Structure 1
Amino acid sequence: MNDRKNGYVYTLLAITIFAIQDGISKHLGGAYPPVFISMIRFWAFAAFVVVMATRSKGGLRAAVRTKRPVIQILRGVGLAVQIVIVITSFSTVGLAHSQAILSAGPLFVALLSMPLLGERVGWRRWTAIAVGFAGVLLILKPERGSFEPSLLLPLSGAAMFALYVIGTRLANRDDSSTTSFFYTGVAGAVAITFVGPFYWTQLAPVDWIWMLALCMTGIASHYCLIRAYDLLDAASVQPLTYLQLVMSAIIAVVIFGETLNLNMIAGSVIVVGAGIFTIWRESVVARRNREQT
């Protein structure tokens, strides 16, 4: 029971820190190139995963060893690109609106798991996916009579994160979670370093403090999430991650003065409900398949 309690504590800590991290990203993204911000963040993240790998069973050599090098590298590169898109979205679309659309990630995962993982999706999950995407359309519904192309940024971010999750599932069929975590940080850091220096910008002294806070929250949030998954199964952790949407919305309204319209609130409720059902149903099917084998 204590393990489960601690698992939920780590989950809530991770979600809270992720929301704070999003607020810092929005602040910095409004003044500096998102590629530059992401590069500094990935450097800190890469250092963290290397330290974690050296302390894991088998050490750094075991973490580097992979049977899926192409997928592992593509995962890291894809996540780096996705983070650049998300930070850009925070400054152009808004933190609350972006998070509302990004919450459709599990729906994309369920949709893409069929062609890419060969998974079967029953009518219940198909219904949840359809309802969830109806919620996304409600969030995207233009207020001024014309569609805003900038809304495609968070939508593409949600789709890219789903591809990252699918890639993780493929990689984990042959590689350990430690190896996948290692390549997420290192491959992403190496890839973005090829581009980031061209966007190097002199930070104001106070913003170096914010950049340090961004790196520290990135490390702390991932550590808490790792500990949460050590103590709880994914079906217990994933539905709680939707609380990040609520926390980010509070930060967006209170700190950045953003407004929440009715379409966004109603659409978010639909998307979150459909996403939670999809996650729950997926865990039920997975448990049934394990029992039958």
Structure 2
Amino acid sequence: MTATEKALSASSSGRAGIAWMLLTTLLFVTQDATLRFLVQTYPFAEVAWARFAVHLAIAFVVVAVNSPSHLIAQRPGIQILRSTLLAVLTLLVAVSYKTLPFVDVAAIANVAPVLVTVLSVPLLKEKVGWRRSLGVLGGFIGAMIIIGPASLVFQWAILLPLAAALCNALYQIVTRLLRGGDSTLTTFFYTSMAGTVLCGLLLPFGWVTPDLTGAALMIMLGVLGACSHYCLIRAYTVADAATVAPFGYTTLIWAVLYGLLVFGESPSASTLAGGLVIVASGIYIFHREQVRAREAAAKSAAEGP
């Protein structure tokens, strides 16, 4: 393959990766919109259980058809921890959507990558320089811009999406620990296992038999969850992280559109301003990570074997 052909191939892969990521964010926000609609009528645990149970059923069929051996995890403890974090995250988001505007929750959720940088220091022993520290500070300032006016109305409720963002950050860090271990199919299967079990244990404490529309939406919720995770995997498979990761922040755009068109909610100026600050901070942190990775690779190449 010539240099030109390689460049064209990389460009094509990049476009495909971006397309997969844009589809991922659209599916995630559509899933959250469906979740928000359902929790207005049904108990949080019931809705979350339906989401995970359908996801688990889809994942089981996919893995069983491809290779049943992927049903067995090499690191079951880490897989269960990761799945548990996703279950807690989902429940927190469900409660958040019961009490907070749709766009506010989505905007605060974008602080998760910033929290990953903070938590990677004690948990992964990574070093964070002053430039990335400024990005972290910017992310927290963005969150405070959103929380400031909202806290006057909702008080403690605004802490729910922050707690969800923390769980999301821990979820991403635990996902990093699985690199080089279990296969993608194994991780895809275990993603919804703990949520199905834990939320299932809560069902006796609150159950409302869904009507036909409610049941259909619950099934759709699980399908959206499974498809969004599949698209995310595809995005990072066909293109490198440096190309696709920044487009993950398009969740804020989809959230604003859903808020306006579906829920009739206009985002406040503070929510938009804070959300943009968080997005800019996250992209800057990611940029600095890529710079450090290139510098480390260049240094390693210069030193030789």
TM-score (norm 2): 0.88
Give the stretch that moved more between structures: 146-155 or 28-37.
146-155
Offset of residue 63 of structure 1: 4.6
Offset of residue 100 of structure 1: 0.9
Which residue, 42, 61, 68 being the options, matches 1:51?
61
- Alignment gaps of 5+ in structure 1: none
Quote the Cα distance in structure 1 between the aligned partners of 2:71 and 2:128.
33
Deviations 1:172-192 (A, max 9, x none): 254333333332222332332
2:245 corresponds in structure 1 to: 238
Which residue, 274, 277, 280 being the options, matches 1:270?
277
Deviations 1:138-183 (A, max 9, x none): 1100358567110000000000100011111122254333333332
Q: Alignment length, in residue pairs?
A: 290
Contact conserved, 1:36 with 1:197, CA < 8 A, in 2? no
Q: Which amino acid aligns with 2:128?
A: V
2:32 corresponds in structure 1 to: 22
2:143 corresponds in structure 1 to: 136
Offset of residue 266 of structure 1: 0.9
Offset of residue 5 of structure 1: 2.2
1:124 corresponds in structure 2 to: 131
Give the stretch that moved more between structures: 246-255 or 203-212.
203-212
**For residues 83 and 60 of structure 1, do their structure 2 counterparts lie closer, same or farther at Cα, with a shift above 3 Å needed?**
same
Contact conserved, 1:11 with 1:240, CA < 8 A, in 2? yes
Quote the Cα distance in structure 1 between the aligned partners of 2:65 and 2:241.
24
Aligned residues with identical type, % of pairs: 36
1:223 corresponds in structure 2 to: 230
TM-score (norm 1): 0.92
1:112 corresponds in structure 2 to: 119
- 1:176 maps onto 2:183 in alignment: yes
In the TM superposition, 1:197-216 aligns within 5 A as: 197-216=204-223
Q: Which amino acid aligns with 1:170?
A: L
Partner SS for 2:192: helix
1:61 corresponds in structure 2 to: 69
Which residue, 105, 111, 118 being the options, matches 1:98?
105
1:36 corresponds in structure 2 to: 46
- 1:185 maps onto 2:195 in alignment: no
Offset of residue 3 of structure 1: 2.6
Quote the Cα distance in structure 2 between the aligned partners of 1:14 and 1:191.
26
Offset of residue 236 of structure 1: 2.0
2:168 corresponds in structure 1 to: 161
Offset of residue 77 of structure 1: 0.9
User: Cα RMSD over matched residues?
Assistant: 2.0
Q: Which amino acid aligns with 1:220?
A: C
Quote the Cα distance in structure 2 between the aligned partners of 1:6 and 1:165.
23
Q: Which amino acid aligns with 2:205?
A: F
Contact conserved, 1:49 with 1:186, CA < 8 A, in 2? no
Q: Which amino acid aligns with 1:88?
A: V
- Alignment gaps of 5+ in structure 2: 1-10, 301-305
Larger Cα Rg: Structure 1 or Structure 2?
Answer: 2
Q: Which amino acid aligns with 2:43?
A: P
Give the stretch that moved more between structures: 121-130 or 243-252.
243-252
Quote the Cα distance in structure 1 between the aligned partners of 2:31 and 2:290.
29
Contact conserved, 1:131 with 1:270, CA < 8 A, in 2? yes
2:303 corresponds in structure 1 to: none
Deviations 1:246-275 (A, max 9, x none): 111211122212232111111111111001
Which residue, 279, 284, 288 being the options, matches 2:295?
288
Contact conserved, 2:16 with 2:238, CA < 8 A, in 1? yes
